[in-house]
Structure 1
């Protein structure tokens, strides 16, 4: 696959190209190749789990054709430039990440460039795969069938009443709960927050 064409796709919505986009494309190609795909497979045979969002994820998407909208690109935001590639038919999973010393290595590929950013921009496009990336086979903690789920799976939370899709509910004490009601979510209403502050002040 033509890396320059993929970089153009990745940078199209950013109006610029950056080292993380290039890493996304390179890691995307490497992950597919490790699973035996010379190009993006059809019929959702490939699922990519990225460990950060942003430019890196856009590079992955450009190389693999996996997207959040098609539910083939999933974000587990650990703040890491790394991704796991899963063959949904065989269940085989490969995690690909940059070598820990990749920034230092990039400078050796562009010794005439004193600015690290631009050295990385050049080096990440030309470095041999084996010199810039690490790969290891992994086992998913949940089966790919559970991660992807099935169409039409919907239930309602017994606490908030909202609909839960894709078998993301949890069952506790005989109740069907959404994750925020069961474990706490990423936000809360202002009224809930005010009540908690008042309770703390009383103590």
Structure 2
């Protein structure tokens, strides 16, 4: 299927969801296009993200006043969930306001850095159990079949499975509670590695033999990473 045809199918499926408003549909459509395939994990993360914004009494992040810490890692079926959380909350890896704290869970914390408040959101165990008992997992993914190659009727059913449920049926929300993330910010000072010449943010420079070098050129990088 060509990409334009795939996007057309995505649009049709998303527009058929009656429990989302127009803005929420548009964000979900974009999330589905970026994510690339139908599954149950991405919309689970998306709905969990909407739930966290509602609980915190805030809106989707456009700048960098909020932050997400996601307790999913790279070695279990949590990456799809993280994609959904990113699109719902607007807290992305690219903005530097989403980070992983791998614990093998489908859980995360949304932090309002400006107001020093946070909520923790965890997908309920019964929701996770139902997802892992569904054909998408038991008949396809557990056998090593890539998600994009799963039977489309099964994949679409997994994608749509949670949209008829209320937030409180899907996730457990803790908070809002006080949370001070401390000071921090982006570096806007540009420098250049004195070995390879690459442009690099100043706060990532290291000193080696009296020269300012990037991490790629820094001779001790691998030694530091092994510790």
Same fold (TM over 0.5): yes
Contact 1:103 1:120 in 2 (8 A): no
Provide the aligned C-alpha RMSD in A: 3.5
Q: Under a length normalisation based on structure 2, what TM-score does the superposition of the two structures give?
A: 0.58
TM superposition shift of 1:132? 1.2
User: What is the correspondence of 1:31-70 to structure 2 with a 5 Å cutoff?
Assistant: 31-37=52-58, 39-53=59-73, 54-70=79-95
Which stretches in structure 1 are left out of the alignment for 5+ residues? Answer: 108-113, 165-177, 189-203
Contact kept, 8 Å, 2:40 with 2:161, in 1: the verdict is no
For each residue in 1:14-56, what CA deviation from the matched residue of structure 2 results, as whole angstroms up to 9, or x when unmatched? 331211101111011111111112x314432221111125222
Decide which of 173, 178, 181 is 1:144's aligned counterpart: 181
Instruction: Choose which of 103, 123, 126 in structure 2 pairs with 1:78.
Output: 103
Counterpart selection for 1:28 from 49, 53, 56: 49
- 8 Å contact kept, 2:40–2:131: no
Check the 8 A contact 1:52/1:76 in 2, yes or no.
yes
Structure 2: where are the runs of 5+ without partners?
A: 1-20, 74-78, 138-153, 190-201
User: Is residue 70–residue 101 contact of structure 2 (8 Å, CA) maintained in 1?
Assistant: yes
Q: Within 2, Cα distance between the matches of 1:50 and 1:103?
A: 16
Cα deviation 1:141-194 (Å, max 9, x = unaligned) = xx4234x44535727557897658xxxxxxxxxxxxx9976xx52x59xxxxxx
Say if 1:64 and 1:155 are closer, same or farther in 2 by CA, change over 3 A: closer
* Alpha-carbon distance in 2 for matches of 1:14, 1:43: 22
Tell me, in whole angstroms, the C-alpha distance in 2 between the residues paired with 1:155 and 1:40: 30
Classify the secondary structure of the residue corresponding to 1:60: helix
Going from structure 1 to structure 2, the CA distance change for 1:7 and 1:179 (only over 3 Å counts) comes to same
Between the aligned partners of 2:97 and 2:165, the Cα distance in structure 1 is 28
1:196 corresponds in structure 2 to none
Assess if the C-alpha contact under 8 Å between 2:124 and 2:171 holds in 1.
yes
Which whole-Å CA distance do the structure 1 matches of 2:221 and 2:182 have between them? 19
2:34 corresponds to 1:13: yes
Aligned to 2:15: none
- Say how many residue pairs are matched: 163
CA offset digits 1:66-93 (Å, max 9, x no partner): 2111112222222221111011111111
Query: Is the contact between residue 69 and residue 100 of structure 2 (CA under 8 Å) also seen in structure 1?
Result: yes
Aligned residue for 1:135?
173
